[in-house]
Amino acid sequence: MKTKWEYYKINEEKIKNIQEKYNVNSLLATILANREIKDIKTYLEPTRYDFHNPYEMPDMEKAVKRILEAIDNKEKIIVFGDYDVDGITSITVLKSFFKDLGIEVNEYIPNRLYEGYGLNKEAIKKIAEQGYNLMITVDCGITGIEEIEYAKSLGIETIVTDHHEPGEELPNAIAVVDCKRKDNKYPFRELAGVGVAFKLCQAISQKLNLDEKEYLKFLDIVALGTISDIVPLKDENRVITKLGLMLIKQTKNCGLVSLLNLAGYRKIDSTAISFGIAPRINACGRMGHANEALDLLLCSNMREASEKARNIAKYNNDRQEYEKIIYDDAIKQIEANNLENENSIVLGGDDWHHGVVGIVASKITDLYYKPCLLICFENGENIGKGSGRSISGFDLHESLTKCKELLEGFGGHSMAVGLSIKKENLPKLKEKFEKIVKEANIEDIYPTINIDCIINIDKIDKEMVESLNLLEPLGEGNKTPIFAFKNLKIDSIRSLTEGKHLKLVLKSNNNTYINAIGFNLGYMANEFIIGDKVDIAGCLEINSFNGTDSVQINLKDVMKAI
């Protein structure tokens, strides 16, 4: 696949100033200059004093006042949340916070397989029948206009805490705490749902004159949800995750400890959370068992937590098996119908698991670099549920708006959507969607690799690579830096894991050697030979093997030297 390398424009004077002022090496200063970090001191060393005032958030004062009234009047309170990591950690934080205040609140998590995302009237009816007076939504609710009005008709007042984009109309709730409101004055609008829940705890603590540790002690769980929800890790999200990761390393949460033990990561960082913890928790929601993930994070007994974590691992294994079945079936359909030559990929499958198709759609999009829609028709049903993923530069949500007459429903954003469709309309959707994508000229869109700077491998050492740890936590909005390494000679080349991965040994003109590993780049083993001169794009990392540490390049792309 053709890729485009884009280099940051190097500002030597700015780099030198950062290097001297903050006592960092030139490589780190270059990255900080490239990313245009405004408050470098807070970026490198955030503290608990760097949180914004929670009462600047829309309706926070109203929310706190109504919650304290409910506590004084001993009203029944329920938290309504989503089934993903963000939603589950949001509920965990609120339930734990209230429990420490001596207040028991219950929760409701909709079953992804039967109820779908967000508020629904059937759930609200059940909540009303159980006598709840106040419902607090977390990670959902901003678009629940009808549902919140229905709750009101049944005697339930609602406080919305959410981080998603609102529609033209806000719900008729007691309070709507969402920094994406048009009238928002809060200085940061990119909090995860769990971040908003955390700010609610902070605000209540301040109103009750509690010690700040009463909300700060949950930063491990807040960091888990924030990293997992792929929100930009900058500003207050960086404060949350930087401090939260420090707490995770010594966490007392039995469920989190059990998951970390199962994941087996030696280094506790954003990668361990994103790839070790988040998929296990998300698997519960995908497979219809979100409450078990919540029970795990609320568990206070280490033995019980370990057992619960093992059960969750089984759900993750099930998820992986379903994912493989769907992926293999999708690839067969693509190859049989030569869809790799089309502009888009739209597929339907009988008995695909709709809790998993989103992951497969992401993989298909990454593999072919084309917008992809996957729809599953489970149990012989005529209406299928699906997920779509897009490429940068093509608005998937807007494209489905043009196909809405063929759909039973859809929602999402430019890069990811959910949809439902009647089986007989699937061929029409394929035809119309393909036409829309073709007219968008996506063949002119290439994956872009942003290069921080060019590095000479003769000057790389372990200390330089380890200094990059100051950039953690890495993720959305704070990407792992990628460097270019020019005019290197291939000394050794081979594929690993049945041709899936690529392993290189590279040599500079000064006879400096460095190892490089390219995950999912095994096909390149047939494109180059020993002795070829190549330019490399990749990340620097420390490889620990048999007690020995060595610097290696994690490959992102390889091309013939220019």
What CATH number did the domain enclosing 139 receive?
3.90.1640.30
Q: How far apart are CA 95 and CA 89, in angstroms?
A: 10
Whether residue 224 contacts residue 85, with contact meaning beta carbons closer than 8 Å, is answered with yes
Instruction: Decide which of 284, 319, 354 is a domain's last residue.
Output: 319
Q: What is the mean pLDDT of residues 235-261?
A: 96
Going by DSSP bridges, is the β-strand pair 548-560/533-545 parallel, antiparallel, or unpaired?
antiparallel
Tell me, yes or no, whether 388 and 483 share the same domain: no
Q: Which pLDDT tens digit goes with each residue over 58-114?
A: 999 999 999 999 999 999 999 999 999 999 999 999 999 999 999 999 999 998 878
Provide the pLDDT confidence category of residue 3 given band limits of 50, 70 and 90.
confident
For the cut 80, the answer to whether the pLDDT of residue 413 exceeds it is no
What's the pLDDT at 1? 65
Chain centre distance of CA 101: 31
Instruction: Decide which of 197, 229, 248 is a domain's last residue.
Output: 248
Helices (H), 193-300: 193-207, 213-216, 219-228, 235-248, 254-263, 270-271, 278-286, 290-298
Q: What is the mean pLDDT of residues 338-349?
A: 94
What's the pLDDT at 111? 87
What's the pLDDT at 23? 94
What's the pLDDT at 266? 82
Going by DSSP bridges, is the β-strand pair 416-422/448-451 parallel, antiparallel, or unpaired?
unpaired
Tell me, yes or no, whether 111 and 257 share the same domain: no
Tell me, yes or no, whether 427 and 395 share the same domain: yes
What's the pLDDT at 447? 87
Token pair in block for residue 425: 């309309």
Tell me, yes or no, whether 434 and 462 share the same domain: no
| Residue 64 maps to a domain | yes
Taking residue 276's Cβ as centre, other Cβ atoms within 10 Å add up to: 17
Q: How far apart are CA 110 and CA 119, in angstroms?
A: 8
Tell me, yes or no, whether 390 and 461 share the same domain: no
Q: What is the mean pLDDT of residues 298-306?
A: 96
Q: For the whole model, what pTM was predicted?
A: 0.90
Tell me, yes or no, whether 436 and 455 share the same domain: no
DSSP string, 165-182: PP-SS----SEEE-TTST
Q: What is the mean pLDDT of residues 503-526?
A: 94
Give the phi and the psi of residue 262 in degrees, each rounded to 5. -70, -40
CA nearest neighbour of 516 among 457, 451, 448: 457
Tell me, yes or no, whether 111 and 61 share the same domain: yes
Provide the pLDDT confidence category of residue 354 given band limits of 50, 70 and 90.
confident
Chain centre distance of CA 166: 20
Instruction: Answer with the residue of higher pLDDT: 380 or 196.
Output: 196
Tell me, yes or no, whether 60 and 206 share the same domain: yes
What's the pLDDT at 408? 92
For the cut 80, the answer to whether the pLDDT of residue 380 exceeds it is no
Whether residue 387 contacts residue 361, with contact meaning beta carbons closer than 8 Å, is answered with yes
| Residue 15 maps to a domain | no
Share of the chain above pLDDT 70, in %: 100
| Residue 369 maps to a domain | yes
Q: How far apart are CA 71 and CA 441, in angstroms?
A: 58
Token pair in block for residue 264: 């087996």
For the cut 90, the answer to whether the pLDDT of residue 176 exceeds it is yes
What's the pLDDT at 545? 80
Provide the pLDDT confidence category of residue 562 given band limits of 50, 70 and 90.
confident
State the total domains in the chain.
4
Q: Which pLDDT tens digit goes with each residue over 120-163?
A: 999 999 999 999 999 999 999 998 999 999 999 999 999 999 99
| Residue 193 maps to a domain | yes
| Residue 109 maps to a domain | yes
What is the helix (H) or strand (E) element at residue 550, kind and residue range? strand 548-560
| Residue 44 maps to a domain | no
What's the pLDDT at 200? 98
Instruction: Decide which of 384, 416, 444 is a domain's last residue.
Output: 444
Tell me, yes or no, whether 110 and 214 share the same domain: yes
**What residue numbers bound the domain in which 455 lies?**
450-560
What CATH number did the domain enclosing 425 receive?
3.10.310.30
For the cut 80, the answer to whether the pLDDT of residue 512 exceeds it is yes
Tell me, yes or no, whether 364 and 474 share the same domain: no
Q: What is the mean pLDDT of residues 39-52?
A: 95
CA nearest neighbour of 170 among 155, 187, 154, 182: 182
Mean of all residue pLDDT scores within the chain: 94
Tell me, yes or no, whether 222 and 256 share the same domain: no
For the cut 90, the answer to whether the pLDDT of residue 220 exceeds it is yes
What's the pLDDT at 100? 96
What CATH number did the domain enclosing 549 receive?
2.40.50.460
For the cut 80, the answer to whether the pLDDT of residue 388 exceeds it is yes
Cβ neighbors of 546 (< 8 A, separation 6 or more) are none
| Residue 281 maps to a domain | yes
| Residue 41 maps to a domain | no
Q: Of 249-253, 413-417, 465-469, 498-502, which range is least confident?
A: 413-417
Tell me, yes or no, whether 124 and 261 share the same domain: no
- The residue type of 482 is I
What's the pLDDT at 118? 85
The torsion region of residue 381 among left (phi > 0), alpha (psi -120 to 50) and beta comes to beta
